[in-house]
Structure 1
């Protein structure tokens, strides 16, 4: 933006000089072109100074943040909002995003404020900076895939952040209850860290939260009932942790949920009946539930489902006929359950499904012959085998996996 303004000013000055020269040659001006040029270039520094720049206080704050993070390549010899040097790498791949973004619309477009800091995969060795609170307009802080350690600063709870992405670091401690005060927060991503303790009930205050991912931490305790208030939630991911209790039926309140992932979380089954009301689901993945046997959950209304994984969920009995109505289904994994009986003929309608995995005990009835499948496996079907099918409704191959 700053460079573009300079180019515009230069062109205007050049045109102004041409006009002055013509007027001088026609005798309409009583001073020389050199005098006119002197006026123009006296004016030039003023035009340069009018370019929007970051307020000095925020420059100082960025110095503090750089020190805390271990960010050594920010060049403070140029304005951080200029997009120059290493402040904003526009050519970096998305997974290596390295950018400080500013809003320069303040005070008639003369003043900038930092609104976003995204530093992905930058090998940052420091800690999470409490100094973020000194950037009053900051809305996004993303330090995905670094080596940051320490705790999440509770003082962040006084900010108006929209996105906090801290996944794949070495962050420890607990989630500060103060984060529940960030009424603007839409995304909280904490996967693959060393966080521990229980999930604070205060997170249920985040009425605008759309994405909450907590996979691969050392969580304990039950999911707080206050999470039922997260009615704007579209993605919820937990797994590889040590929660207790059962999958809560309050998930029925998450009417906007599209991605619901509960893998090896420590939670018990069964899958609650409230899941039937989640008709916007496109991706449901639940695995490794302890508890008693249960029948197949009611997902009849989830007609947008593309991925359905119910692996080792203690499901017994027959597959429901309604599975054939999930015509957008691409992946179906029902392995390590106790499903038996015939394959529903309705599955013949799943023409888009490219991956199906289930326990071999389900293979009964004449549907396999009807769809002319070729089996590439041992005829003995060992007890531990699953069937992986790459296409259900056309002649193809079935692969055995032990």
Structure 2
């Protein structure tokens, strides 16, 4: 059956999923105009992944002229080019627009403000450039704004009205800059905020602490300074990443008092300038990191991921804990995807980190242990020396001072040696022979000494005589 015969068709979904090695659906014959001409009743059009390959004027005019009552337009990854034509303004009932993953290569037109029913505007990864119109942020019906991964688009956040319905704000990978306005506190319905990899600076507004619906915060890789807000009213907070900034001060733990973060699963505060003591009770209050497998998904709505946009899959069998520079140990983290990272904050200290605070009154234990071990080491040497000395004294002392015992030992040792050495071909003189020879040597030495003394006396006499003879001359 041809689709052109379905004149009463309301929803048309030809979205395709691209698998490696399989060709994508391509719209060539008929072209987009012919394809939609006989379907004027379509209000929801999903052609994601279909290769349309049309320029801005072509696809904008084809859609606006063929399906004037369109409410949902989803053409992501359709090989579309820009710029977007003003003819899209004819689609005055549009509420959801998804043109992500195309090559629009143009600024975002300001006529999107004219869509009074606009709830979702998704223009991610579309090679957009130029300044983003601030008035689009202030569309009262807007709930989702996704400009992710458009590095050449820039701008700043305006003042948000109190009646804002914005729930999802994604600006990661853009060139947005300036400070966050204090009116961020007016986004009472905001649940997801992703502004990673931008150029935002200044302090994070304290008014964000009152955002009760906030569940996912990714503000990493900016230039934020000052302390972090407490987010004490964000009871649904499950993910917070403030890493790679210049934040400073202490890290409070609102969950200790009010138990405001029971669903927190991932927290990353690495590469900042935080200091002070980490409240150890924080980790005991984060219940979502301690649940069992049976209660992981239904009770705490744990983080999952979408696979082919078909269903949610959850990490229930494996655990990933990121520690990096500062060591930390959580007692019980089971069956959920969790991460805790306080690394590269040199000023942080206290349990459960390995770094102790400098204001601790307890002296370092290492010095005490070293001195004790050193003392024990010295006494061991002393005891050993005393033992050997006393043993040697008991053995050698009697031999030295007891003459009879000395002669008795000499006789028995001589008798034993005289029996052994002749069998080996050696001669052993007895002690008496050695003694007689020693006496002879002593006599010879004494006679020599007497002769030398006589010569010295004769030499002295001759000196005296010669002196007298010289005196008489």
TM-score normalized with structure 2 length: 0.54
CA contact (8 A) 2:9 2:41 kept: no
Q: CA deviation at 1:118?
A: 0.7
SS at match of 1:336: coil
Distance 1:77 1:259, change over 3 A: closer
Distance 1:242 1:363 in 2: 31
Aligned partner (choices 129, 132, 155) of residue 221 of structure 1: 155
1:77–1:215 distance in 2 versus 1, CA, 3 Å: closer
> 2:431 is matched with which residue?
none
For the residues of structure 2 that align with 1:97 and 1:332, how far apart are their CA atoms? 41
Give the C-alpha shift of residue 346 in structure 1.
Answer: 2.2
Question: Which residues of structure 1 form unaligned runs of 5+?
Answer: 4-74, 100-110, 370-402
Structure 2 residue 79 is matched with structure 1 residue 79: no
Match of 1:156 among 80, 88, 110: 88
2:237 aligns to what? 305
Please name the residue that 2:72 is paired with: 140
Asked if the contact 2:144–2:166 (Cα under 8 Å) also holds between the matched residues in 1, the reply is yes
Measured in 2, the distance between the counterparts of 1:343 and 1:250 equals 30
CA shift for structure 1 position 78: 4.1
Shift of 1:244: 2.9
User: Which 4+ runs in 1 deviate beyond 3 A?
Assistant: 75-84, 87-90, 92-99, 227-230, 360-363, 366-369
Please tell me whether residue 364 in structure 1 is matched to residue 349 in structure 2. yes
Structure 1 or 2: larger helix share? Answer: 2
Once the two structures are superposed, the pairs formed by residues 222-371 of structure 1 within 5 Å of their partners are 222-225=156-159, 227-228=160-161, 231-290=164-223, 293-324=225-256, 325=259, 326-347=261-282, 348-353=284-289, 354-360=338-344, 361=346, 364-367=349-352
- Which secondary structure state, in structure 2, belongs to the residue aligned with residue 352 of structure 1? helix
Deviation at residue 155 of structure 1 after TM alignment: 2.9
SS at match of 1:203: helix
TM-aligned CA distance change 1:94 to 1:232, over 3 Å:
farther
CA–CA distance in structure 2, aligned partners of residues 184 and 213 of structure 1: 17
Unaligned stretches of 5+ residues in structure 2:
28-38, 290-337, 355-473
Where does residue 293 of structure 2 map in the other structure? none
Alpha-carbon distance in 2 for matches of 1:117, 1:316: 48
SS of match in other structure, 2:88: helix
245 and 312 in structure 1: CA distance in 2 versus 1, 3 angstrom threshold? same
Q: CA deviation at 1:146?
A: 2.8
1:178 aligns with 2:111: yes
**CA offsets per residue over residues 58-103 of structure 1, 9 Å max, x none?**
xxxxxxxxxxxxxxxxx5664365699xx6559x66999999xxxx
Three-state SS of the structure 1 residue aligned to 2:212 is coil
Name the larger-Rg structure.
2
1:199 CA displacement: 1.9
Query: 1:298/1:236 Cα in 2 relative to 1: closer, same or farther (>3 Å)?
Result: same
CA offsets 1:362-389 (integer angstroms, 9 cap, x no match): 66323359xxxxxxxxxxxxxxxxxxxx
Number of residues of Structure 1 aligned to a counterpart in Structure 2: 280
* Change in CA separation of 1:153 and 1:122 when aligned onto 2, cut-off 3 Å: same
Q: Does 1:126 align with 2:84?
A: no
Q: Deviations over 1:105-152 (max 9, x none)?
A: xxxxxx971111111122332234222222221101101123211112
CA drift of 1:314 comes to: 1.4
